[in-house]
Amino acid sequence: MFEDLLRGWDGEHAVTRYDRPSDSWILVCIHSTQLGPAMGGTRLKTYAGPEQALADGLRLAAGMTRKLAVLGLPCGGGKAVLAVPSVPDGAERQRLLERYAELVESLGGSFVTGPDVNTGSADMDVIGTRTRHVFCRSSANGGSGDPSVHTARGVFHGIRASLAHAFGSDDLSARRVLVQGTGSVGAKLASLLSEAGAEVVVSDLDEGRALATGRQTVPPDVALETDCDVYAPCALGATLSAETIPRLRCRVVAGAANNQLATAEDGDRLRERGVLYAPDFVINGGGALHGIGLEHLDWDEARLELEVARIGDTLTRIYEQADAEGVTTAEAAERLAAERLTGGAVSATARNAGD
Looking at the annotation, which residues are catalytic?
79
Alpha-carbon Rg of the chain, whole angstroms? 20
The two beta strands, 76-83 and 38-45, are: parallel
Question: What is the smallest separation between the CB atom of 278 and ligand NAD, expressed in angstroms?
Answer: 13
Of 107 and 257, the one with the shorter C-beta distance to ligand NAD is: 257
Q: Which amino acid is at 167?
A: F
Q: Which amino acid is at 310?
A: R
143 scored as a contact of ligand NAD (CB under 6 A): no
Question: What is the smallest separation between the CB atom of 275 and ligand NAD, expressed in angstroms?
Answer: 19
- Please work out, in degrees rounded to the nearest 5, the angle formed at the alpha carbon of residue 109 by the alpha carbons of 90 and 95: 15
Three-state secondary-structure class, residue 168: coil
By CB under 6 A, name the one of 57, 76, 145, 287 that touches ligand NAD: 287
User: How far apart are alpha carbons 266 and 116 in whole angstroms?
Assistant: 26
User: How far apart are alpha carbons 47 and 33 in whole angstroms?
Assistant: 27
284 scored as a contact of ligand NAD (CB under 6 A): yes
Of 131 and 180, the one with the shorter C-beta distance to ligand NAD is: 180
Name the segment binding ligand NAD (CB under 6 A); options: 86-94, 99-107, 232-240, 329-337.
232-240
14 - beta bridge partners? 29
| DSSP H or E run through 12 | none
Query: By the 8 A CB rule, do 346 and 8 touch?
Result: no
256 scored as a contact of ligand NAD (CB under 6 A): yes
Of 107 and 201, the one with the shorter C-beta distance to ligand NAD is: 201
Which 10-49 residues touch ligand NAD, going by CB under 6 A?
none
Of 32 and 203, the one with the shorter C-beta distance to ligand NAD is: 203
206 scored as a contact of ligand NAD (CB under 6 A): yes
Q: Could you give the angle at which helices 301-325 and 329-340 cross, rounded to 10 degrees? A: 120
Question: What is the smallest separation between the CB atom of 325 and ligand NAD, expressed in angstroms?
Answer: 27
238 scored as a contact of ligand NAD (CB under 6 A): no
User: How far apart are alpha carbons 268 and 347 in whole angstroms?
Assistant: 20
By CB under 6 A, name the one of 1, 236, 264, 345 that touches ligand NAD: 236
Query: By the 8 A CB rule, do 237 and 266 touch?
Result: no
Q: How far apart are the first and last CA of the chain?
A: 23
Which 291-330 residues touch ligand NAD, going by CB under 6 A?
none
By CB under 6 A, name the one of 220, 225, 244, 351 that touches ligand NAD: 220
Question: What is the smallest separation between the CB atom of 95 and ligand NAD, expressed in angstroms?
Answer: 26
Query: By the 8 A CB rule, do 73 and 59 touch?
Result: no
Question: What is the smallest separation between the CB atom of 152 and ligand NAD, expressed in angstroms?
Answer: 8
151 scored as a contact of ligand NAD (CB under 6 A): yes
77 - beta bridge partners? 39
Which 174-193 residues touch ligand NAD, going by CB under 6 A?
180-186
262 scored as a contact of ligand NAD (CB under 6 A): no
Q: Would you put residue 179 in left (φ > 0), alpha (ψ -120 to 50) or beta?
A: beta
Name the segment binding ligand NAD (CB under 6 A); options: 165-173, 197-205, 323-331, 344-352.
197-205
Q: Name the site residues for ligand NAD (rule: CB under 6 A).
A: 147-148, 151, 180-186, 203-206, 209, 220, 234-237, 256-258, 284, 287
